[in-house]
Chain A
Amino acid sequence: NAGVTQTPKFRVLKTGQSMTLLCAQDMNHEYMYWYRQDPGMGLRLIHYSVGEGTTAKGEVPDGYNVSRLKKQNFLLGLESAAPSQTSVYFCASKQPNQPQHFGDGTRLSIL
């Protein structure tokens, strides 16, 4: 049982490039989340989804887009990467009224 898997684990981008982070869960969870974590700070919610085909904005959505075309996958896109988006990105999933399960993160550096 893999749980929550994030791909890739590490990536370096140049300013202006685009990329997509993939989150996959095999627990049939309804809800999925994307967070970012910066040095010395807690996690901040970027976007979340309450089901296949739905997405909603979190605390810090600007500069990111998301899609949930399949229940098990939640994609986070950066259309034009900026150095301020250098961070560790965490994905999580859960069932209603249950705790969130987190992946091990994607470390993204933008030069």
Chain B
Amino acid sequence: DAKTTQPPSMDCAEGRAANLPCNHSTISGNEYVYWYRQIHSQGPQYIIHGLKNNETNEMASLIITEDRKSSTLILPHATLRDTAVYYCIVRVPPPGGATNKLIFGTGTLLAVQP
């Protein structure tokens, strides 16, 4: 199973872009990169996912390197409410075609400072 590595914590000034890195050097060709976040005392919230190309939605942008061994989640204008733990996850291929389980690591605690 592909494993991800993220820094344990990062700070970002309010209004600035937050760039959260993730390494997934053992990713295989058919595995997607997913990003979730968890605000204190709440359930995880889906942010974005991608396979090869860069992706953007109303919450964030996802930049995946050409060799797919790393990616960066970008929050373009961080607010205090973006303070959370951010999880980078590689979707595990299902054994026997069952389902795609998500394996969560310990994530990055992003602290947005006023």
Q: Which residues of A contact B (CB under 8 A)?
A: 4, 31, 33, 35, 40-45, 48, 50, 56, 58-59, 90, 92, 96, 99-105
Q: Which residues of B contact A101 (CB under 8 A)?
A: 46
0 or 1 for each of B92-112: is its CB under 8 Å from A? (1 = yes): 000000110111111100000
Given A100-B46, A102-B43, CB of A56 within 8 Å of CB of B106: no
**Which residue of B34, B46, B98, B104 is within 8 Å of A43 (Cβ)?**
B104
User: How many A-B residue pairs lie within 8 Å, measured between CB atoms?
Assistant: 47
Interface residues on B, range: 10 to 19
Q: A3 → chain B, closest Cβ, in Å? A: 10
**Alpha-carbon distance A104/B41, docked complex (angstroms):** 8
A94 to chain B, nearest CB (A): 8
